Amino acid sequence: MANGAGDLWGLMTVVGVVILGIVIAYAMIRNRRMTPQEKGVSERATDRVYDQEARDPANRNA
């Protein structure tokens, strides 16, 4: 290209892919597997919510 616009577009494409890869890697690191203690806390909280919903008369089938 005479004005270098094609070169800039190619550079932006490569940089975009690199940034996307970094963001995906960061997300994978942050969303690691839960420890057994964290999993237990999550399970108890879920059970509590289900129990509250089951006690609500609006959720009962007629």
* Residue 53 near residue 59 (C-beta atoms within 8 A): yes
User: For residues 31 and 11, which has the higher predicted lDDT (pLDDT)?
Assistant: 11
Whether the per-residue pLDDT at 56 is higher than 90: the answer is: no
What is the rounded average pLDDT of the residues 23-38? 90
pLDDT at res. 34? 85
Range of the domain at 34: 5-59
Domains held by the chain: number: 1
* Residue 24 near residue 30 (C-beta atoms within 8 A): no
pLDDT at res. 32? 83
Considering the entire predicted model, what is its pTM?
0.50
